[in-house]
Amino acid sequence: MTTYDSGLHAWFQQYIVATGRLPLFSFLVGLLAAFVGIRVSVRLIRAKVRWWPGNVRLGGLHVHHAVFGVAFMVAAGIAGLAVPDEMPGWRTVLALVFGIGTGLVLDEFALILHLEDVYWTERGRTSVDAVFAAVALSGMVLIGLRPLGLYGWGAAGREEGTTGLVVAVVGSLLLAVVTLLKGKTWTGLVGIFCPPLLVVGALRLSRPQAPWARWRYGTRHPDNQRRAEARERRLRVPMMAAKVRVQELLAGRHDLPDPRHAPAQRTLSCPARPAYACSRPWTSPGTRQQNGRWIYEKNRLSVVKSVCAHNNGAAPPMT
């Protein structure tokens, strides 16, 4: 046990502390802790556990946890800019706070994206995807990977041989754009740190609903469209089903009905034109308002307009 602890401590000192990645490690720890903690909280709230405090409310306003996340991120970001480099301990603490704020915000990323409360709906899975992407990118940087092969940028700059490196970076960016346009998000993100994946993603077929397929497949290349749809059914659908099962295990089931598919409620609005006072009744002879004036409207919606006039502009209730 002592040998294991000393080995882990030596690895941590050598690969995390000595390389200056301790703030990034703290950020990743804060991100994971915030995501796991808030998911436990919301699942307890959803289960209506009595001893759990529940949602935060100010009067009748429900304060989403993304609000606290933004506050943490702003406070940690400003303080991080003010703290000098000679205080690595404080920078590490601020990175931890920034990671906590990032986790809280990304957990409600779907709400921010759609501007709707879709937390437990199918569209709410976007929040879990955003957290997974942030953890993956942070983890790859933490283990020493650099985006687009920027390992020797400083050395290349000192040797005044940056032309080849710039060409490689621009080429990698173009391949990443093509890969993302083909709908291969994870291949594009991971390929930024492993450029050979970008070559594979850019050369292979697009997903059938991706922008690349809409522009270049369809009626222009029906064979490619059919092949892409067949590959989607054979490979993508089972992979997505497995990913959903993992997400539900970690983050809960997103099974509430989507507000977009809710049946629309019929409402009766009053016409914009005002009713006119005249000498004829609007329903049957002998009917008048308390003020002694008859109400009548000379068009096809006379009854609706007259009722609106009697109710001071309010529509009659639907029965």
Residue 255 has what pLDDT? 86
Residue 274 has what pLDDT? 52
Chunk the chain into consecutive blocks of 10 residues (it has 319) and report each block's average pLDDT, rounded to whole numbers: 69 86 95 96 92 87 94 96 90 96 96 93 93 93 79 50 77 91 91 88 92 89 91 91 90 85 58 50 48 44 47 48
pLDDT digits (tens, 9 = 90+) for 3-42: 566 778 888 888 888 888 999 999 999 999 999 999 999 9
Residue 259 has what pLDDT? 74
Residue 238 has what pLDDT? 92
* Dist. CA 93–CA 88, nearest whole Å: 9
pLDDT digits (tens, 9 = 90+) for 213-264: 999 898 888 899 999 999 999 988 999 999 999 988 989 999 888 877 666 5
Please state the pTM of the whole predicted model.
0.73
Buried b or exposed e, range 107-138, using 16+ CB within 10 angstroms: bbbbbbeeeeebbbbbbbbbbbbbbbbbbebb
* Dist. CA 172–CA 178, nearest whole Å: 10
